[in-house]
Structure 1
């Protein structure tokens, strides 16, 4: 199949591209600038100028829309907030406009979303896909992100939203950032340490996205998280155990993180359980449903 992936330089997209290419698919990437790729053809796009390079969408059967500026890459200034929003919402609207112009449209559009849809409030309820969006900046952005794709359904294209949790990978992301201070013996749980981390191994996430692509019954939102969430303190201990380092410092106080991170501190200080029952009911099988094994697979020395 001819498959288009946006956000080709990103963590998930790079893993997905490799997997799809190894399965014999013709992969195209949309990027803000041209670069050489070993297994995919790269096309340019520019959301500010309503531009997608000619030929990028020709005969495409599947679109994976994974583009979006990193949530935790920079402090949330008003300017950065706009970048985060536009990179998701405006890019989705651009794709919708271009797809509407096509006579032969893709059969499925799998859009990245995020667990931030439910907000980061700490409560006992396990969030399910039928729940309303939560409160706060990330909930507002994620809700707008999904709503921007609504015209896709009206075109007769099957639309899937993968509400992705914390992705565990050796190529970057939260796990590597958490492991670095622990390697230098200055790591510690954050805040109370009791906040829930809804994680997923990148291999499972990639296979899940491909499963969504291939299963005609899959439609709408799905919580892309593993079955057994852990607390921040538990995950911190798992990392330390995997890289064979001690934890001796007390928890990092919440007020310190709020001073350093500002509003963005909610990502690391709050959280609740997400249910993945809908994914399980669809027939998808996880390779990693134990956080310790997932962390060890990525971090443990050979």
Structure 2
């Protein structure tokens, strides 16, 4: 089997490449940096520039499926111009891929799997969201996720079947949100955000990468939540990080207006609440290595 991956050098992409190679799946990847192009037996790079609609059509040779992770990071202060970058980078990437694939007459690609985000679900302290929930969050993240999913759905026009993974808070040692949460706690300055009661639907990056490969190998279509089975409150997550690091927590919770001054509109990432269900992916035979947050954090932080 051979898979084409966009965003293969990012946090999730690097882990998916590892899982693919463990399963003897060859990887083609697209990069906007010509310096990052490698040519190895099971890992071959190709140049693209989605902004200019440039893509090396050879990237599709002998490829069975596409995993799309491309898009500008949301972990950066949002302003009006950067919000435009976040949205357009996702739509342009998929548009460029679709145009490139439509030019190739005898390709083998039958499946595309794209990242999305649980930010598509509205903020709620009480609801328990599964994939059938259809009301989209009115926030910027809801808008981005809905547009992202709509863009990948268009690949059905080329005869591909389409899958989407709505990703939660990804726990990783070096990248993503966790290192930023760990820093103040290590300094004894950790605190929960807002009421601390908002739900954090998290997943260990190992399990997330396994979900992507599982969906491709089993040719599963439709939407799947990329979250662990047991969400926790922000307060509980903060306490478990502190406990794992053997650090005290004594500061009062951080109010919204403080983080809005620091992060701009991005502050909602810390204060929104989405309790999200993983039962659909589990029903396909997927087993989580990290179902509970404490063992996941111990594996990462120790």
Please give the TM-score of this superposition, normalised by the length of structure 1: 0.94
Q: 2: CA distance between counterparts of 1:43 and 1:184?
A: 43
Q: 2: CA distance between counterparts of 1:107 and 1:146?
A: 18
The structural deviation recorded for 1:113 is 0.6
In structure 2, the partner of 1:53 is 56
Q: 2: CA distance between counterparts of 1:122 and 1:54?
A: 44
- Aligned residue for 2:20, secondary structure, equals helix
In structure 2, the partner of 1:190 is 193
In structure 1, the partner of 2:27 is 27
CA RMSD of aligned residues (A): 1.4
- Aligned residue for 1:5, secondary structure, equals strand
Unaligned 5+ segments in structure 1 are: none
The structural deviation recorded for 1:266 is 1.1
Q: 1:5-47: per-residue Cα shift (whole Å, max 9, x none)?
A: 1012210001111221233222111111021557622211101
Residue 86, structure 1, aligned to residue 88, structure 2: yes
- Aligned residue for 1:160, secondary structure, equals strand
Q: 1: CA distance between counterparts of 2:92 and 2:133?
A: 25
Match of 2:249 among 224, 227, 247: 247
Trace 1:58-207 onto structure 2 (pairs within 5 A): 58-72=61-75, 74-103=76-105, 104-119=107-122, 121-132=123-134, 133-207=136-210
- Flag as ranges the 4+ runs of structure 1 deviating above 3 A: 36-39
The structural deviation recorded for 1:272 is 2.3
Q: 2: CA distance between counterparts of 1:49 and 1:253?
A: 42
The structural deviation recorded for 1:122 is 2.3
Q: Check whether the contact 1:69–1:87 (CA below 8 A) recurs between aligned residues.
A: yes
Unaligned 5+ segments in structure 2 are: none
- Aligned residue for 1:27, secondary structure, equals strand
Match of 2:286 among 284, 288, 300: 284
In structure 2, the partner of 1:12 is 12
Please give the TM-score of this superposition, normalised by the length of structure 2: 0.94
The structural deviation recorded for 1:196 is 0.7
